Amino acid sequence: MSVDLSLEPALRVRGIEKSFGDLRVLRGVDLDVAPGSIVSLLGSNGAGKTTLVRILSTLVAPDAGTASVHGHDVVDQPGRVRESISLTGQFAAVDEVLTGRENLVLVARLRHLRDPERVADDLLARFSLTDAGARRAGTYSGGMRRRLDIAMSLVGNPPVVFLDEPTTGLDPQSRIEVWATVRELARGGTTVLLTTQYLDEAEQLADRIAILHRGTIVQDGTLAELKALLPPATVEYVEKQPSLEDVFLALVGDAGDTDGTDGTPVTPTTTEGAQPAGEELR
């Protein structure tokens, strides 16, 4: 009897444990990820985020427990799991000598897809890289390089994508570009497991947030559900000042206001009762 995968979790993890020598990294992880959703695995350095992703992508075998990806067991059916996933690590795995288009064509050929040139052109358009497609990837900005890296991971349309700290080392504008890319993935029906140590990243992107601490998931829920765990906030009047990120994006971001003559950014001002400068950039 066939199983309707749309009714099953795209990722199902039960009691996963993993040790390296005497170091117990994962101590019994349980996690479900619904199809087409973005789940953020949040935790500090050393919490075990990357180890869990490596287990789910069949790069490391668990010591105990079970895990399935798109209905396939990671231990018993590693080949089927690999056909269903794509993994993007903490550093962009692009060939900087090749152009953006050549990088995509190469991956499409390695995956034996028909018409790799068309596949490359479609992905360049999807990730707003068409104009840069003929340029060497080594000339790309950090955000463009990461977007190309994610585009390369989507060659063949895998239903599940693992993004392991995708914005590490990126500037604020590049982070926003990557966030837009991740949202686009979910809108297209792709299941995304995103690991991060940035609280704002999880808050901006995730449908659900799983907090990994000392090798176990200590809490899992929507942002609203997690906030409800704390006592209600005391309402006080606080004058909202723009953050450093607001100032940075206002000065150098594409969305910054100009005076309409020479493109010089206008210095934002705040008056009592007015919306603080930079809020529209969030």
142-184 pLDDT, tens digit each = 889 888 998 898 898 899 999 988 888 778 887 888 888 889 8
Per-residue pLDDT for 244 more than 90? no
Note whether residue 108 is domain-resident: yes
CATH number (domain holding residue 49): 3.40.50.300
Neighbours of 133 (CB within 10 A): 19
Q: Across the strands, what pairs with 214?
A: none
Note whether residue 249 is domain-resident: no
Lowest mean pLDDT among 8-17, 150-159, 190-199, 245-254: 245-254
Closest CA to 33 of 165, 215, 163: 163
Domain membership of residue 111 as a residue range = 5-227
Note whether residue 57 is domain-resident: yes
Note whether residue 208 is domain-resident: yes
Task: Give mean pLDDT, residues 58-87.
Answer: 95
Where do we find the tokens 């269903």?
Answer: 84
Split at pLDDT 50, 70, 90, the class of 76 is: very high
**Cα–Cα dist 162/33, whole Å:** 12
Structurally, the chain folds into a number of domains equal to: 1
Closest CA to 118 of 139, 138, 132, 133: 133
Closest CA to 11 of 68, 49, 50, 93: 68
Q: What are phi and psi of 192, to 5 degrees?
A: -125, 125
Note whether residue 267 is domain-resident: no
**Cα–Cα dist 133/122, whole Å:** 11
So what's the pLDDT on residue 279?
Answer: 43
Split at pLDDT 50, 70, 90, the class of 282 is: very low
Neighbours of 121 (CB within 10 A): 16
Note whether residue 74 is domain-resident: yes
Residue-wise pLDDT tens digits, 121-141: 999 998 889 999 999 999 998
Cβ atoms of 160 and 84 closer than 8 Å: yes
Lowest mean pLDDT among 68-72, 218-222, 254-258: 254-258
Note whether residue 269 is domain-resident: no
Closest CA to 31 of 14, 48, 50: 14
Cβ atoms of 28 and 63 closer than 8 Å: no
Note whether residue 282 is domain-resident: no
Give, as one character, the DSSP assignment of residue 136: B
So what's the pLDDT on residue 92?
Answer: 72
Q: Which helix (H) or strand (E) holds 272?
A: none
Rounded to two decimals, the pTM is 0.75
SS3 16: strand
Query: Percent of the chain beyond pLDDT 70?
Result: 86
